[in-house]
Each structure stands twice: as C-alpha cells, then as structure tokens.
Structure 1
C-alpha cells in the first residue's frame, strides 16, 4: 500500500482542538444499512454516523444551501471510520478489485500485488497508526455523501461511491451532456459554501478541519486529528 508520506496533505501539522464526536441529527438523512457495517467491518460499539460537532454544524449549512438552490438534500453514506475499519476496507477493496479482474490475491506475483495496491491507494488512505498521519475518516472530520430528491430517490451521479476508476474524479463528466457533472457541481458548491473541501479524486468525499482540508485550503495546521 502507498506510504502515508506519498500523500502531500499528511505533512500538514495537527493541533487537535478536542471537538467531540456527536451523532448525526435526524434532519441529516443517512443511508441504511450502512454499507461497511453490512460487510462486517469491525466498528464494535462505535457508530459510522458520528462526526465532530463542528462538522455537523457545517453539514447543516450545506444542507440549507442545497435545498434553497436545488430542492435536493444530502444523503450521508459514511462518516467516522475507526482505524480498524479503514484497514478492513482497504483489504476488502484490494480483494474485490483483484477478483473483479478474474484473479485471486494468492495467485499474484509480488510486482502484480504492488500494482493492485497502488491502484487501491489512489482512493483508499493507508490505515496508518501514526497519529501524525491519520486516515481522513478516522478524524471524524470527513464525510462521504451524495444527493437525493424530495421523494427520497438517490440521484445518479455517474459512478457509485468507492468505484476505483477515473469516473470517480469530480470533473470526469465535465464534457458529457448527461446531468452527472451538474449534480456533482451542486454537491460541491453546497459543501464548499459551508467551508468543506473536496478530495481531488473522489466526487463524494468532503472534509473540514483535517489535514486534507488544510492542504486544499492553504492552511498551515489542521485542527482535527485521529479519534479513538
């Protein structure tokens, strides 16, 4: 798997302000069942729909902007992800990619395995135990989300969340006549209006206060680190 230092945002300093993890309020709709819990990811007594209190407040601002400008609403797919869950999901993504291409992990040569690990690392952060390089979701400051309409129907955004392909890049459909790019733009505009920043490879991933947010914002220090 790619080393944490290969991601430039992991060089950002962290000075955690101690903002608590809180449950998502009922007015922010979340997907059920939670997709990683359904796979058996080891959450224990922790909840994937926890976020830092300040992040929840900003999600409500993004929701208000989105509803006022489009009539759509946010649909939360994933939020807090403990380190053990990150490790579980990285392995799951690796195994799924290998099997989707008709191979098995045990049949790969060392160079083949490294290539697959690199492909997964373009989307999945390393489950680094180093407090200086936490995976974004382990901070309670990152959220994966999409859009749904007033009748509760989830909008087609052009590719599913967690797809390991170029279609996941936010601007992939910029020259496509279908509505996917416009929908991604609405999501991004809503989130950025509330202070979030988008992952450069993932249309669905936004954060506020973590290292990725600081790096994309040009801020010297992140104020949310890993939460155990």
Structure 2
C-alpha cells in the first residue's frame, strides 16, 4: 500500500494546466452535495468546488450508477490553511494516543488519515470525498464518512475484509463508477478519489496536472 508519506509522491513533477475550479452544484441530477457540512472541518463556502475535468469525469461516472443510486459529495476543494491545520491536529492527537511511537511513526500514521500539505489533493481541486445515495438515503459503506482507520480491522480501507457484505457491494459500485472514468482511490479511505493530483500522477506514472490553488484565486 502506497501512502502519502512516500517520498516518491513528493518528487512527482507538476505542470498545472490552469483549469478553472468551479462549483459542483447543479451539474447533474445524480450528483448531490451534502450542504450540511456536518462531517467536515472546512468552513469554506468553496467546499464543493473542483477542477473542470474532475466534474466532467464525475458526470461521466453517473452513467455507471445502478438504478436508484446517486452520488453524494461530502467535500472537494479545501483551502491550504485548513489542510495544514487538519494535519497538525491529527498529528497531535495520534501523538497523544500513541506516546511510545516516534515522530516519524506518528507522521506515517497521520498520513493515513490526513494528507501532508505538499501532496494533498483537496487543495488542488483534484480530489473529492464521495459516497452513495439509494432512493435518497445514504447507503451503508462499512463506516461513517471520515472515520479514522483503526488497526487491525482498518474498516475505512477500501478493501477491508471486516465490513459486511452489503457494505462490500456498495463499495464495489463506487469503485466501478470511479475507476471506469479514471479516478484513483486513496486506499485507506474508501470515500477519497482523485484525478490530476500528485497521488494520481504517481500511480499513473505521469506529471500531476493540478497544483494547490489559493482560495482567493478561486473566488
């Protein structure tokens, strides 16, 4: 499993293609937004913005949804300032929980849950946190969105063996839809998918397409 702490990802070259970061709202009847923001820490009004190609690919992915299913977006763009704060908060919390681990071990553990700023996908507009609705209700995915991976079950891992069969089938639906149009998953978080960021570029052996975007330039 390749984590965002891997130095090879930090060495990925990026040539930003300057695509706009625009709203996901009202782009397709099968792409809905969780406007409550109850499960994310970002208070930015741009939380449901993404790069144009990301949005177009997500629209294409709706073609593979079974009848009655829709996408629910939890978060897309995240300001750099919020990314830095989230990483530091998670780092300090893990340090409190695991006092016998070294800072290096805590750093790697934190990267399973929050991306370090240099390689974070959300500030580029290339990453989206997504789940499924069926007949207007969120389906069971084995964990809540944004749960923390806990050993040994690691229930948030995309291919965890410890979730029930219903959750496994729902994850298969999400995987099929997203992979068919070119998204890559971050394997410790079933909900996190990206296109064009450093992690995606590393897996596809190419340059990244998107650099982090300052919140002011999006507005």
**TM-score normalized by structure 1?**
0.78
What's the CA shift for 1:196?
Answer: 0.9
- The alignment partner of 2:155 has SS state of helix
Residue 223 of structure 1: aligned partner: 209
1:156, 1:180 within 8 Å by CA — same for their partners in 2?
Answer: yes
The one of 19, 22, 32 equivalent to 1:29 is 32
Superimposed CA distance per residue, residues 57-80 of structure 1 (whole angstroms, 9 cap, x where no aligned partner): 1111112221xx353111101100
Distance 2:4 2:75 in 1: 22
The one of 127, 136, 144 equivalent to 1:160 is 144
| Distance of aligned partners of 1:222 and 1:149 in 2 relative to their CA distance in 1, 3 Å threshold | same
Indicate whether 1:193 and 2:190 are aligned. Answer: no
For residues 81-100 of structure 1, the aligned pairs below 5 Å read 81-94=78-91
- The alignment partner of 1:162 has SS state of coil
1:120, 1:164 within 8 Å by CA — same for their partners in 2?
Answer: no
| Distance of aligned partners of 1:47 and 1:33 in 2 relative to their CA distance in 1, 3 Å threshold | same
Q: Which runs of 4+ in 1 moved over 6 A?
A: none
Superimposed CA distance per residue, residues 131-162 of structure 1 (whole angstroms, 9 cap, x where no aligned partner): xxx41111101001000112x11011001222
Moved more, 160-169 or 28-37: 28-37
Alpha-carbon RMSD: 2.6
2:64, 2:177 within 8 Å by CA — same for their partners in 1?
Answer: yes
Indicate whether 1:144 and 2:129 are aligned. Answer: yes
Distance 1:5 1:126 in 2: 8
2:5, 2:111 within 8 Å by CA — same for their partners in 1?
Answer: no
What's the CA shift for 1:6?
Answer: 2.7
1:119, 1:164 within 8 Å by CA — same for their partners in 2?
Answer: no
What's the CA shift for 1:50?
Answer: 0.6
| Distance of aligned partners of 1:176 and 1:23 in 2 relative to their CA distance in 1, 3 Å threshold | closer
**Which sections of structure 2, spanning at least 5 residues, go unmatched?**
215-219
Residue 78 of structure 1: aligned partner: 75
The one of 108, 126, 133 equivalent to 2:116 is 126
Distance 1:227 1:35 in 2: 24
What's the CA shift for 1:115?
Answer: 4.5
Distance 2:170 2:105 in 1: 32
What's the CA shift for 1:35?
Answer: 3.5
Greater fraction helix: 1
Superimposed CA distance per residue, residues 165-214 of structure 1 (whole angstroms, 9 cap, x where no aligned partner): 111111103x7552111111110110111111111221111111111112
What's the CA shift for 1:8?
Answer: 3.0
**TM-score normalized by structure 2?**
0.81
Residue 217 of structure 2: aligned partner: none
Residue 131 of structure 1: aligned partner: none
